[in-house]
Amino acid sequence: MDDEMKPALINRRPFPGFRALLALLACALWLPISQTVHSQAQTPAAAPAPISNKHELVTPMRDGAKLATDVYLPEGKGPWPVILMRTPYNKAMQGAQSKQWTANGYVFAVQDCRGRFKSEGKYFPFMDDHLDGYDTVEWCAQATWSNGKIGMIGASAMGITANQASIMAPPHLVAMYVQVAPASAYQHAIYTGGIFRKELTEQWLMAQNAQDVLALTFQHYKDDGYVNIREGKLHWEQVQVPVYNWGGWYDIFEQGNIDNFAGLQTKGGGLAAGNQKLMMGPWGHGALAEVKYPANAGADLMGSMGKPTEPQRWFDYWLKGINNGMMDEPPVRYYVMGDLSDRAAPGNEWRTAAAWPPPAKITSYFLQPGGTLSEALVGATKSSDTYQYDPKNPVPTIGGALLFGKKGPLDQRPIGEREDVLKFVTAPLDAPVEITGKIFVELFAESDCPDTDWMAKLVDVYPDGTERLVLDNALRARFREGFDHEVFMQKAEVNKFKIDLWSTSLIFNRGHRIALHISSSNDPRFDPNPNTGRPMRADRETRVATNTIHHSKTYPSRILLPVVKSYEGKKMAAQ
């Protein structure tokens, strides 16, 4: 770490044991909805005088930095509850949504994060948001236009700033509505499966002119504790408030909203435990390409249907005490995706659940000789497929959980019949198969290189041959025993690798086939592995890896699917 960076990281530490926060990545998805160490309970600076309509105010932080905050007031006489958003994307761009809040009796406050636009200080993405968020919440609470009840709202980067504030437990923070935000900086955003999220992280940090942070990111390619301040599971017990988590099945941070919901629902402090909500729909971090889900898949966040929006209902209940039935509804609401070419097919509908995930039968689909996939265990003691992976000729990314590229369930056929992509597929289904929950792939594999990557894709193959991507994820071989240390491979040694594909809810329709695609690259979604075993981007040297996937009685490679229901025609039977 550069010496000039150390004071900011050390002096702003909230309490012993926290490591400096590495920049996390996120994008601007607009959805309506220094000095010595200080105590987190420190009294903030004096609150501003009353204002009318919109006013740009200065919010002092504990270290003396001044952050710019726009405050929008309702008509009439206050005080009112406050909806707070903190953004690195220019507070002026968020003013349009102030009307939906002020019209319903809320103050809307939006702040430029430290070092961005009109706010002072050095910009390290999400480095100071736990402290700055705390100070801003308490500053708002003491204002004469505030009744002391503060709610935080935001999508993506703004959701991250809200989550960061909540781990400090500001006394006047009452509830939050968080959309498409990660629960783990390392796994959900920067190094998923131990592999650098190039398309997401590098491009976003460059766009934010944060090249210095990118260099630090490369230094911490292992989960060495550097981003512990951004690891939700380490802080759920400190969070004291109900949170409505809103995510998308094709979102870049998809697993984050699910994990935050489940973690806070069972481990949260104060009113957090037992008062969480989760909504998951067929959405990405922006518009999906190639496909269009039915109109019922939309989420009315703008109030266009003539009724209170979901965020407004949430805050009306928690900040105003309005008994609108919000907490009488099931905690989980999720969209079960289905066949997009057959209106009569099951799926493409909303379901509810008391917890996540819903009950399911974990079912193994084993990789078979000849590229088939079935529930039958392979009888042969030896069976495998071998391919060569060249880092200079990686498999191109097509769809999936992307930030800048075309996203969603894109057809994988344009990749072509590459020899470095193995495809395993079931026979056409006699009846629909519904899966809901987390999905894993277990591979028994070997390589002639000390390190390589294993990529897996779950694919819905339509009768016409279309290969719709459902989920894709990866694992760097050196991290198979843990992301905090490296264990390199030995030639001719078969190892077990477990790939976390994250979660989904989908019905494979009758006549469709379930497919699993295996490779060692997916560029630019994941940074191609040079196969040398050296540290992250240590040099430009690459090696061609000869990689072998085993599928036999001895080495039963498989995908584990959470099967919720089986279907016979139009009749459903719970398993």
Contact residues for 370 (Cβ-Cβ < 8 A; gap 6+):
none
Helix/strand/coil for 444 = strand
**Given pLDDT bands bounded at 50, 70 and 90, which one contains residue 38?**
very low
- Helices 129-142 and 157-166 cross at an angle (nearest 10°) of 80
3-state per-residue secondary structure call for 20-67: CCCCCCCCCCCCCCCCCCCCCCCCCCCCCCCCCCEEEEEEECCCCCEE
Is residue 324 within 8 Å of 316, Cβ to Cβ?
yes
Distance of alpha carbon 418 from alpha carbon 284, whole angstroms:
27
Strand locations in 140-196 (E): 146-155, 173-179
The CATH code that applies to domain 361-574 is 2.60.120.260
Quote the DSSP letter at residue 330. -
Q: What is the pLDDT of residue 108?
A: 98
Asked whether the predicted pLDDT for residue 302 surpasses 50, the reply is: no
Token representation of residue 18: 């926290």
List the chain domain ranges. 361-574
Closest CA to 89 of 27, 9, 143: 27
Q: What is the pLDDT of residue 544?
A: 98
Number of H helices, E strands in the chain: 9, 22
My answer on whether omega of the bond before 524 falls inside 30° of 0, hence cis, is yes
pLDDT digits (tens, 9 = 90+) for 239-277: 999 999 999 999 999 999 999 999 999 999 999 999 999
Q: What is the pLDDT of residue 47?
A: 53
Distance of alpha carbon 541 from alpha carbon 551, whole angstroms:
32
- The mean pLDDT value of the chain amounts to 90
Helix/strand/coil for 139 = helix
Radius of gyration of the chain (CA): 24
Find tokens 């030639």 and name the residue. 491
Residue-by-residue DSSP string for 202-222: IHHHHHTT-HHHHHHHHHT-S
Quote the DSSP letter at residue 164. H
pLDDT digits (tens, 9 = 90+) for 365-407: 999 999 999 999 999 999 999 999 999 999 999 999 999 999 9
pLDDT digits (tens, 9 = 90+) for 551-568: 999 999 999 999 997 675
Asked whether the predicted pLDDT for residue 206 surpasses 90, the reply is: yes
Residue-by-residue DSSP string for 486-535: -----TT--EEEEEEEEEEEEEEPTT-EEEEEEES--BTTSPPP-SS-PS
- Percent share of the chain, pLDDT over 70: 88
The residue type found at 146 is S
Q: What is the pLDDT of residue 225?
A: 95
Residue 569 falls in which region: left (phi positive, over 0), alpha (psi -120 to 50) or beta: left
pLDDT digits (tens, 9 = 90+) for 482-522: 999 999 999 999 999 999 999 999 999 999 999 999 999 99
Find tokens 């503060």 and name the residue. 150
Distance of alpha carbon 181 from alpha carbon 253, whole angstroms:
6
